[in-house]
């Protein structure tokens, strides 16, 4: 027989300390290749119940993202409950979606447990975790700048000089140096260094980061495709603080408005300081997906 103190101790260890409120938005501005899933599952090893959310951003042709959208929820759940969810999903895609080299998708997954947040990412979608309003964690993109990825790929790829855009203020975009990654065996060329799909040519080595949850602290998690982060000044503290106080609807509106606004543009990559005024048409923009999770202490 358990003593009452032991029963209370077990109960306190099991009862949730935080409420998790997840809201999502997608704006398929161009190719219609973004996808979001949210659900609740049970961890196979520990028996813990956890909420989760995943953002997928398809690229190339539509086969890979369409295949992911059609995966039954029970099958997807079998991947999510494991400690290697992205690797298992990648293997499943490679086994069942063959001969499609030009189609892939990023994946950014967050699991919300009672005492921790687990972040997994593959590709250039990203997640930001706040603790009491301050940034606790930002996932790294898997691209040519990622030193771990350059080491992983080693001599299997060639880096091709290119360019990208970067916000310097809320009205200005500048051109910046970038590189595409080309796999030597089949000439697949991507901006991200790993991905689901593409017959597995990129390999799959997702990052996994565990963030403990303090019972007395507030947390906020924002997951987004690069359509969100390309229109966010992630190295600007004020910008990222503003994002903390926004919900998914607000973030989606701000990001859409930015894609479609008139920009002051400078080609600094070619030393052209002249300002050009221009704007994107929707077909020239990137799709946007955003997940916002507020993790708030429960007062008993």
For the stretch 88-110, pLDDT in tens is 999 999 999 977 789 999 999 99
Position with higher pLDDT, 90 vs 7: 90
Q: What is the mean pLDDT of residues 128-156?
A: 97
278/55 Cα distance (integer angstroms) = 30
43: domain CATH number? 3.60.40.10
Q: What is the mean pLDDT of residues 188-193?
A: 96
pLDDT of residue 186: 82
**Residue 11: inside a domain, yes or no?**
no
Quick one: pLDDT band at residue 274, thresholds 50, 70, 90? confident
**Residue 65: inside a domain, yes or no?**
yes
**Residue 288: inside a domain, yes or no?**
yes
Quick one: pLDDT band at residue 138, thresholds 50, 70, 90? very high
pLDDT, the chain, mean: 92
Of 135, 122, 298, give the one whose Cα is nearest residue 211: 135
pLDDT of residue 4: 45
Q: What is the mean pLDDT of residues 177-202?
A: 94
The number of distinct structural domains making up the chain is 1
Q: Is the pLDDT of residue 188 over 80?
A: yes
Q: Can you tell me which residue has the tokens 């429960």?
A: 298
pLDDT of residue 299: 78
* Three-state SS at 39: strand
For the stretch 45-93, pLDDT in tens is 889 999 999 999 999 999 999 999 999 999 999 999 999 999 999 999 9
Q: Is the pLDDT of residue 5 over 60?
A: no
Q: Is the pLDDT of residue 9 over 90?
A: no
**Residue 4: inside a domain, yes or no?**
no
For the stretch 229-261, pLDDT in tens is 999 999 999 999 999 999 999 999 999 999 999
**Residue 7: inside a domain, yes or no?**
no
**Residue 12: inside a domain, yes or no?**
no
Range of the domain at 26: 19-297
Q: Are strands 262-267 and 172-183 parallel, antiparallel or unpaired?
A: parallel
pTM, to two decimals: 0.93
Q: What is the mean pLDDT of residues 15-24?
A: 90
**Residue 200: inside a domain, yes or no?**
yes
Return the bridge partners of 127, or none.
Answer: 223
Residues 64, 93 contacting (CB under 8 angstroms): yes
121: tokens are: 């990412």
Q: Is the pLDDT of residue 204 over 90?
A: yes
**Residue 13: inside a domain, yes or no?**
no
pLDDT of residue 187: 83
């Amino acid at each position: 027989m358990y003593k009452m103190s032991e029963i209370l101790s077990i109960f306190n260890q099991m009862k949730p300390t935080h409420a998790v409120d997840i809201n999502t938005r997608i704006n398929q501005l161009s190719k219609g290749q973004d996808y979001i899933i949210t659900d609740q599952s049970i961890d196979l090893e520990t028996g813990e119940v956890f909420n989760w959310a995943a953002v997928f951003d398809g690229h190339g042709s539509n086969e890979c993202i369409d295949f992911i959208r059609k995966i039954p929820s029970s099958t997807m759940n079998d991947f999510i409950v494991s400690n290697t969810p992205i690797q298992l999903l990648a293997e499943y895609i490679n086994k069942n979606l063959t001969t499609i080299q030009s189609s892939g998708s990023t994946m950014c997954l967050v699991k919300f447990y009672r005492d921790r947040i687990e972040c997994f990412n593959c590709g250039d979608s990203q997640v930001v975790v706040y603790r009491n309003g301050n940034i606790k964690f930002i996932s790294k993109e898997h691209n040519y700048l990622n030193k771990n990825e350059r080491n992983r790929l080693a001599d299997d790829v060639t880096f091709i000089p290119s360019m990208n855009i970067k916000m310097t203020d809320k009205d200005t975009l500048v051109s910046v140096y970038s590189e595409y990654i080309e796999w030597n065996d089949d000439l697949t060329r991507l901006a991200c260094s790993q991905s689901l799909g593409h017959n597995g040519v990129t390999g799959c080595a997702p990052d996994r980061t565990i963030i403990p949850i303090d019972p007395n602290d507030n947390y906020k998690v924002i997951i987004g495709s690069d359509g969100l982060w390309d229109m966010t000044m992630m190295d600007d503290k004020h910008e990222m603080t503003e994002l903390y106080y926004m919900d998914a609807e607000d973030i989606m509106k701000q990001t859409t408005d930015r894609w479609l606004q008139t920009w002051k543009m400078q080609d600094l990559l070619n030393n052209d300081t002249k300002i050009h005024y221009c704007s994107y048409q929707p077909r020239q923009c990137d799709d946007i997906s955003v997940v916002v999770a507020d993790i708030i202490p429960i007062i008993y």
